[in-house]
């Protein structure tokens, strides 16, 4: 049997050599290579770290990593400051009216100028009637029923909360307006048909219109109420603002209220709508989950 002689090395023959790269690590730092040697996972799959496969937030909104995305904190802060500013302005207007301040005298001069303005009487009467409870309340009830139906169909959690909050907000309006009217007993414009009497500050018709139509806008702008991929929030907000302005002008033009009566009712409505939006916003951060008329399967974000 023959043997192959191997070279014999001695300790003195040892010399430093460069390390040899293994084939599996040859392309360890190549970008976009899905091969053995991927710096994250040897099998090419995405890593299991929190930053590895992070997904974005909800469609069209600022979000965080699932399972429970939320609205950003500045949303609630903005609602809080809106309510505080409206309440402060309402208190200032009430103080001016109660103390017969200079702003009240200016308000009455401006109100008489609006009464004799060229705004058509029939048009002013039409918009003033939109603040009547007989008109505004049925519109709000229909919007609440539609929002509840869409929310239940889309399997939204607590789908009943936004409609209930809108109706409760509307019910609070007379509970706040009537005591202030009774306390101040401000007389109305002398041009009012049937003679002026006391109890005009703030305007009940102005507050009713602002709260009712503002709550309708909140309900229709909810993700499960609007169509997928469409945002009606800005358009609804602009429509409500224009409608409230028209109602206010109609009330002053027909000598039903002074301008400060209407402005104070808007401030009061701002406080109530800010509270209603904060309640509705807890459910409004969910995207539309309905596909082809059927609710989608619940995801991990449904666990509240």
**Distance from C-alpha of 202 to C-alpha of 188, rounded to nearest angstrom:** 11
pLDDT over 70 at 54, yes or no: no
CA distances from 227 to 62, 147, 230, 287 (A): 19, 12, 6, 11
Q: Which residue has better confidence, 135 or 58?
A: 135
Residue 100's CB is within 10 A of a number of other CB atoms, namely 10
DSSP string, 174-205: HHHHHHHHHHH--B--TTSTT---B--SS-HH
pLDDT of residue 298: 44
Lowest mean pLDDT among 106-110, 156-160, 290-294: 290-294
Q: Where are the domains of the chain?
A: 73-286
**Distance from C-alpha of 193 to C-alpha of 258, rounded to nearest angstrom:** 14
pLDDT band at 209 (very low <50, low <70, confident <90, very high): very high
**CA end-to-end span of the chain:** 80
Residues 260-273 have a mean pLDDT of: 96
pLDDT of residue 85: 96
Residue 150's CB is within 10 A of a number of other CB atoms, namely 20
Cut 0.95: pTM above it: no
Give CA torsion, residues 134, 136, 138, 143, to 10 deg: 180
pLDDT over 90 at 262, yes or no: yes
């Amino acid at each position: 049997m023959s043997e192959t002689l191997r070279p014999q090395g001695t300790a003195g023959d040892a010399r430093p050599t460069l390390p040899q790269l293994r084939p599996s690590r040859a392309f360890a730092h190549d970008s976009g290579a899905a091969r053995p040697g991927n710096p994250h996972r040897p099998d090419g799959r995405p890593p299991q770290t929190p930053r590895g496969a992070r997904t974005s937030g909800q469609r069209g909104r600022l979000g965080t990593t699932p399972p429970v995305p939320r609205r950003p904190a500045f949303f609630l802060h903005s609602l809080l400051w809106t309510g505080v500013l409206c309440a402060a302005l309402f208190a200032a207007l009430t103080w001016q009216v109660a103390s017969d301040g200079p702003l009240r005298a200016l308000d009455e001069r401006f109100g008489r100028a609006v009464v004799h303005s060229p705004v058509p009487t029939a048009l002013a009467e039409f918009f003033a009637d939109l603040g009547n409870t007989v008109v505004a309340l049925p519109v709000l009830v229909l919007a609440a029923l539609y929002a509840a139906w869409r929310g239940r169909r889309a399997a939204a959690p607590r789908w009943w909360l936004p409609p209930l909050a809108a109706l409760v907000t509307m019910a609070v309006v007379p509970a706040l307006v009537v005591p202030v009217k009774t306390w101040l007993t401000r007389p109305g414009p002398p041009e009012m048909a049937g003679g002026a009497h006391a109890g005009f500050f703030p305007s009940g018709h102005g507050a009713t219109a602002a709260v009712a139509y503002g709550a309708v806008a909140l309900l229709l702008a909810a993700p499960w109420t609007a169509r997928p991929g469409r945002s009606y929030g800005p358009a609804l907000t602009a429509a409500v603002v224009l409608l409230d302005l028209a109602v206010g002008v109609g009330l002053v033009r027909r000598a039903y209220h002074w301008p400060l009566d209407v402005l104070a009712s808007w401030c009061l409505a701002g406080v109530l709508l800010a509270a209603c939006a904060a309640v509705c916003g807890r459910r409004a951060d969910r995207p539309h989950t309905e596909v082809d008329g059927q609710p989608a399967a619940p995801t991990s974000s449904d666990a509240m």
